[in-house]
Amino acid sequence: MSGNAKSPAAVRTVAGKTRIQKENETRILRAALDVFSESGFHGATLDRIASEASMSKPNLLYYFKSKEEIHVALLTDLLDVWLAPLRAIRPDGNPVDEIGSYIRRKLDSSRSFPRESRLFANEILAGAPHIGDFLQTELKQLVEEKAAILQRWIDEGRMAPCDPRHLLFAIWSTTQHYADFSVQVRHVLGLGAGDKSYYDEAARMLDTLFLGQLISRPGSD
C-alpha cells in the first residue's frame, strides 16, 4: 500500500467519523455505563472509565471532553429506550392487553438493560441535573397523553377508578425494582449472580397485582 493510500478504517463515514472513531466512542460509552451505573455520576472518574475502556485518559479525552459529556451522551441514548414501552400503549386497544403488555415491556427493559435502568435511577436520585428539562417537557407530555387514554377507559367503566398518573408511577417502581435492586432480589430468592429466572414469576405477580384490581370483569359486580 502506498504512503498516501488510506485503509478502509480511515475512510470517513457520512457522519464525519471513521469506523475506528465510532468503535472507540462505543467502547468508552460501554465502559462508562458500567462505571456510572455502579458508582453514580459523582463517584465515577475519568481515570476509571479510561481504565475500563482499556485506553489512556488523554485518548479518552480526544473523544469526550469531560465526564459530564459522557454522562449526557449515555442518558440521551437511554431516554428513547426508556420511553418506548409507554409510547406503545394504543388508545384503540383493550385495557387488559395494553396494560398487561406495558408491564411486560417494562420488565423486559429491566431484564435487558439493568445498567441503563440504574443509570437513570442514579440521575433521578441526584435531582435530575442533566435531564430535568426532559422530565418537565417530553416525559410530562407523554404521561399526560397516555393518562388521558387510561382515564377514558375508567370513564367508560372498563377500568377501576384511579389516578392514571399514579398507576404509571406504580408500574415504573415495581418493574424497575428488578433492575435497580437486582442484588437484593437475588439474595432474598437465593439465586446466583446473573440469574434472571425471577422475571417470569414477577410478570405473573404484577399481572395479578395490577390487572386483578384494575380491570372490570363480567359478573364481578
Same domain, 51 and 109: no
In angstroms, rounded to a whole number, what is the distance separating the alpha carbons of residues 116 and 101? Answer: 21
Q: Which amino acid is at 54?
A: S
The answer to the question of residue 19 being in a domain is yes
Q: pLDDT tens-digit profile of 129-147? A: 999 999 999 999 999 999 9
Give the CATH number of the domain where residue 46 resides.
1.10.10.60
At 194 the pLDDT is 86
Bridge partner list, 215: 159
> Both 93 and 173 in a single domain?
yes
- 121 exposed, middle or buried (CB, 10 Å; 0-12, 13-18, 19+)? middle
Residue in the structure block whose three cell numbers are 435531582: 127
> How many CB atoms neighbour CB 114 within 10 A?
17
Closest CA relative to residue 169, chosen from 77, 86, 96, 104: 86
Give CA–CA dist 99/65, Å, rounded: 42
- Selection from 163, 165, 154, 173 nearest residue 216 by Cα: 154
Same domain, 111 and 165: yes
Verify that 160 and 107 share a domain, yes or no: yes
> Could you say which of 65, 94, 120 is where a domain stops?
65
**Residue 183: half-sphere exposure toward Cβ, Cα within 13 Å:** 3
Based on the domain organization, do 2 and 61 belong to the same domain?
yes
Note whether residue 221 is domain-resident: no
Say if residues 194 and 186 touch (Cβ distance below 8 Å). no
pLDDT above 90: percentage of residues in the chain? 76
**Residues 116 and 171: beta-carbon distance below 8 Å:** no
| Position 220 in a domain | no
- CA pair distance 130, 180, nearest whole angstrom: 19
**Pair 3, 97 in one domain:** no
The CATH number of whichever domain residue 204 belongs to comes to 1.10.357.10
- Kindly write down the DSSP assignment for every residue of 19-61, as one continuous string: HHHHHHHHHHHHHHHHHHHHHHHHH--HHHHHHHTTS-HHHHH
79 and 177 assigned to the same domain: yes
For the chain, what is the domain count?
Answer: 2
Cα distance between residue 217 and residue 60, in whole Å: 58
pLDDT at position 77 is 86
Q: Tell which of 40, 65, 90 closes a domain.
A: 65
- State the residue range of the domain holding 20: 1-65
pLDDT exceeds 80 at position 217: no
Residue 97 shares a structural domain with residue 187: yes
Q: Give 17's pLDDT tier (boundaries 50, 70, 90).
A: confident
Instruction: Give the residue from 131, 117, 153, 152 showing the smallest Cα distance to 33.
Output: 117
Which whole number is the average pLDDT over 86-95? 96
Collapse the DSSP code of 197 into the 3-class scheme (helix H, G, I; strand E, B; otherwise coil) and give the result: coil
pLDDT tens sequence across 167-190? 999 999 999 999 999 999 999 999
Where does the pLDDT of residue 19 fall: very low under 50, low under 70, confident under 90, or very high at 90 and above?
A: confident
- Is the Cβ–Cβ distance between 147 and 168 less than 8 Å? yes
Instruction: Say what the pTM is.
Output: 0.81
